[in-house]
Structure 1
């Protein structure tokens, strides 16, 4: 069987397994989990309404008493009323938002350069949201102390003072608060021109006593976020602890409980497909505890990540300082790589889910991005990358097509043997093998190119699916987003009929072109002598099946496959014509 037939069958089975698993198992599980979570939150809301001592979520900020608890730590257990103490404005080339002075909480942050949709008037992506919101998502730094009362260290509603109104890359802001015993807590907050915040925490002990302090940081996210629901992409709590990557889905934390460990350095956070918030403690500082968590209170469920540094003894008149970071923004490869190198963060590039074929996915992304920088168009970059891949695999493909040419030439002899030994399968096999040897036919010639192309295909699929660099990137004409399915379909007469057809019948132009190229490839390839009529019918249906399947995939991936098929047809036609000329035909 030829290279392309083997490739089509292998990819077809793989895609059918992927889609079947997603549609029959993952999607029902996700919908059921969301339904149960909605029922749970509804019941909690009813209980809160029935209890006059508990306010509704909309009128009260949920307590972030989910702060990391440690030995002899006093943590808040109540749900205090929301305090509006003002805020510090955050203004950078990439970010806009605010830092609440009540609790020194990062709870309002949007991405300037990333929109919800490709529409000109689309809103910016909002990453962090206030603690009182239904889908609250915030970051907070603080201190744990030995048991002295809840007002000994600043809490979630402590009102801080700030020495500035606006935080910019050139203008850091310092927050300060002093307790009744004479401890001064300070946080100097800096931000760069991308997504990295630096938090310098310091405690000045003017109390006259020795105090025990443990700095911490936390990320809290309320509710069950909407995810892509694809098993090839991790979304949820994630971290690197002791040089080991740990990934926990929201369902994992519900089923298996929280993940906790002691570590030195590392990182932990919550990742979405294109966005993330990540705590990055000092890489040389031991952590008493680092955790990925799921916890609940009367306002619902919270997912998060946190760490507590080791306890520090601060003598009278002494000052303790610690510097930590957190990343909040888009998962841009160059930014993540830059911070990984600058701060020596282990496995930080794995915040992007490169998949099993990491060794291929990263180089393919780098090559694709380099071609994009040359051309300014990711669609053109995909076309050029496909040519590069074809050139690399040309020696193997050449052998495969030469063998296919010999097989085509030997078709009459194969059919004659089939007729002669149609009642003796063993003898037919023996004669076929002898014919293959005589005509220099290798029936397995297409296997190696196929095996090499499958990892390349899935690695490219990963690149197109998980990297934000492909998001909302146009190609030409109607292709405005290569990371989304082709929107132009003949089902609604290419948009002339004001109707959005269901996704399973909205087959775009690119998938149709891909199906036609597959059909042309089959027509050019010789039929295997061992293929029975049923197999031939299955092969004939593959272009239609793949057209339907690929209609829901990103336009960039379909573009790659279509162009790859066109190049394969041209390559195959040229080599087979060359072999026929050599044989005197």
Structure 2
């Protein structure tokens, strides 16, 4: 019977492991594909053929920015561009169509290799993955000539840089002049003021808009805990849509997947570490914001647009304007918080997916960031942070470990009760509870350290997984990126064999830090009292191995945290058990734990 139970426990353990691998495999594969696509796009020596530019349909007085749908004639000549530069950005502004479609983040690399190309955020239509911001107008009266996708603007000033504004001008030949005044700060914020000046004899009605557009579907990581897609805070509410859900909703509604009017707010596209978002300059300004999907020739295109809620009527001699800001850069916590405070942008930090444990995750980030900055190493910051948590919860953990120590010493009495009443489980349970009361033992207290650790684990996982400050942060030795998995692998003898076992299965990854974590977890479990139920005991015996395989591909920083936490727990638990044993010896109540019985054959 014992052998059958052991086989059942092993089968259950392997089943858990395989289910976890099956659940996590698509996300890992998507992450590898996205990294490969980014590398190929960055290293492409020649531009791809331009994607056909759809024409904007005529709009009514309350329509939002156009979602392009049909092909436009080929460009008339070479596109003219104006440089864009600051300490953190480099790129160009396309004067044809007033598009910011060429932008790289000079302080971020694709990989930890210092020679790897910088991260490209925005890309022109000649790129395999076009992604750009654009400013324009719709003729709400149906007669005013407005700039379109093929309009060549005239630029004054340049390059666009901090303290050096650029003004784009275009005259429609009907008495109206359109202007876009652009300013760039030292980080990632572009301010755009769209102005139409009416020098004609009659009033005109135009609808100014700004938009961010993706001409292809980006490769998302596919992790349940990470949102990628449409994101924004409108009317004080976080509005998130995945690409899949937005497409489904847009097809069902035959229009925008989501559309609302609000005072202020912000909206855009979020990737794991990058953000492109629009927000009105004056947060009291009412705007109409929409998330759109357009199917064009079998190609999915995505758009976030922000427009005035109604057409502007511009009297002769007057002018109408809409001022917006574009954030295009990395999702740095301090930077988003700074913009939120400076410009009154509500909950701008929610562009970072801190998740359900926001109340823990963000404070954890600030503590880790402070310690990492102070020590110069985020890995050391994790060690210090874990030590601080141990000290903070020391009294609570002590109580739990004392109860666990008492249960371990009471094991002989508990075994005696089970043997005495093996034919009467109810009586055995009654006597066991009486023993707990007499010895002042709480059998559930052993779960307390684990219950405390669960929210800490997930909050720290979030910090390591979603914050760019942890991206490419090194530790010591071979750990060059705490947000990525430990690259070493037992199954190719830590690099001695020239092949990648993970090409066969994601389970074939067993790095050094995961092995150390498994060893420390095994030692910690040995200090705990053996569960009375044989099946439960066997499952617990296999848990270190299961967790070792499950966490092997997690971010290295998280595995380092778990290993270090186990070591601190072992030291604390051993110290408490030793003190309790000395106390019992002095009191003459100490009973040596029984030696483990040998399994019977058959």
Give the TM-score, by structure 1 length. Answer: 0.88
Deviates more, 1:314-323 or 1:120-129: 314-323
> 1:279 and 1:396 mapped to 2: Cα distance?
47
Which consecutive residues of structure 2, in runs of 5 or more, have no partner in the other structure? Answer: 1-12, 35-47, 251-256, 591-602
Count of residue correspondences: 545
1:325 matched to 2:325 = yes
1:506 matched to 2:518 = no
> 2:64 and 2:360 mapped to 1: Cα distance?
47
Residue in structure 2 matching 1:252, options 245, 248, 265: 245
Instruction: Provide closer, same or farther for how the CA distance between residues 337 and 343 of structure 1 changes in structure 2, counting only shifts above 3 A.
Output: same
Match of 2:362 in 1: 362
1:110 matched to 2:111 = no
Q: Is the 8 A contact 1:60 1:81 kept in 2?
A: no
> 1:185 and 1:407 mapped to 2: Cα distance?
80
Q: Is the 8 A contact 1:474 1:480 kept in 2?
A: yes
Secondary structure in 1 aligned to 2:399? helix
CA drift at 1:533: 2.0
Which consecutive residues of structure 1, in runs of 5 or more, have no partner in the other structure? Answer: 1-11, 35-56
Match of 2:397 in 1: 397
CA drift at 1:500: 2.1
Q: Is the 8 A contact 1:515 1:544 kept in 2?
A: yes
Q: Is the 8 A contact 1:268 1:280 kept in 2?
A: yes
Match of 2:56 in 1: 65
Match of 1:312 in 2: 312
CA drift at 1:72: 7.2
Q: Is the 8 A contact 1:464 1:556 kept in 2?
A: yes
> 1:163 and 1:515 mapped to 2: Cα distance?
64
Q: Is the 8 A contact 1:482 1:556 kept in 2?
A: yes
Match of 1:568 in 2: 569
Secondary structure in 2 aligned to 1:456? helix
Match of 1:270 in 2: 269
> 1:168 and 1:213 mapped to 2: Cα distance?
30
1:225-268 per-position Cα deviation (integer Å, ceiling 9, x unaligned):
10110111100011122111111101001212211112221111
Q: Is the 8 A contact 1:68 1:308 kept in 2?
A: no
Instruction: Provide closer, same or farther for how the CA distance between residues 333 and 69 of structure 1 changes in structure 2, counting only shifts above 3 A.
Output: farther
Q: Is the 8 A contact 1:63 1:78 kept in 2?
A: yes
Secondary structure in 2 aligned to 1:548? helix
> 1:374 and 1:461 mapped to 2: Cα distance?
21
> 2:61 and 2:394 mapped to 1: Cα distance?
61
> 2:438 and 2:543 mapped to 1: Cα distance?
32
> 1:198 and 1:85 mapped to 2: Cα distance?
23
> 1:205 and 1:172 mapped to 2: Cα distance?
23
Match of 2:42 in 1: none
Instruction: Provide closer, same or farther for how the CA distance between residues 22 and 255 of structure 1 changes in structure 2, counting only shifts above 3 A.
Output: farther
1:115-170 per-position Cα deviation (integer Å, ceiling 9, x unaligned):
11111221111111102433111100112222445x81111121011112411112
> 2:207 and 2:90 mapped to 1: Cα distance?
31
> 1:516 and 1:504 mapped to 2: Cα distance?
18
1:245-300 per-position Cα deviation (integer Å, ceiling 9, x unaligned):
1111010012122111122211110100000100112311112x310111122372
Q: Is the 8 A contact 1:176 1:187 kept in 2?
A: yes
Give the TM-score, by structure 2 length. Answer: 0.86
CA drift at 1:64: 6.2
> 1:498 and 1:270 mapped to 2: Cα distance?
40
1:490-537 per-position Cα deviation (integer Å, ceiling 9, x unaligned):
222222222222142121000000000000001111213x3x222222
Secondary structure in 2 aligned to 1:167? coil
Match of 1:50 in 2: none
Residue in structure 1 matching 2:138, options 119, 140, 144: 144
1:308-354 per-position Cα deviation (integer Å, ceiling 9, x unaligned):
21322211111223321010011111111111111111221110001
Instruction: Provide closer, same or farther for how the CA distance between residues 18 and 214 of structure 1 changes in structure 2, counting only shifts above 3 A.
Output: farther
Give RMSD over aligned pairs: 2.5
Secondary structure in 1 aligned to 2:501? coil
Residue in structure 2 matching 1:192, options 147, 170, 185: 185
> 1:449 and 1:291 mapped to 2: Cα distance?
46
1:443-495 per-position Cα deviation (integer Å, ceiling 9, x unaligned):
01133433222111111111111111110110000000000100112222222
Match of 1:454 in 2: 454
1:523 matched to 2:516 = no
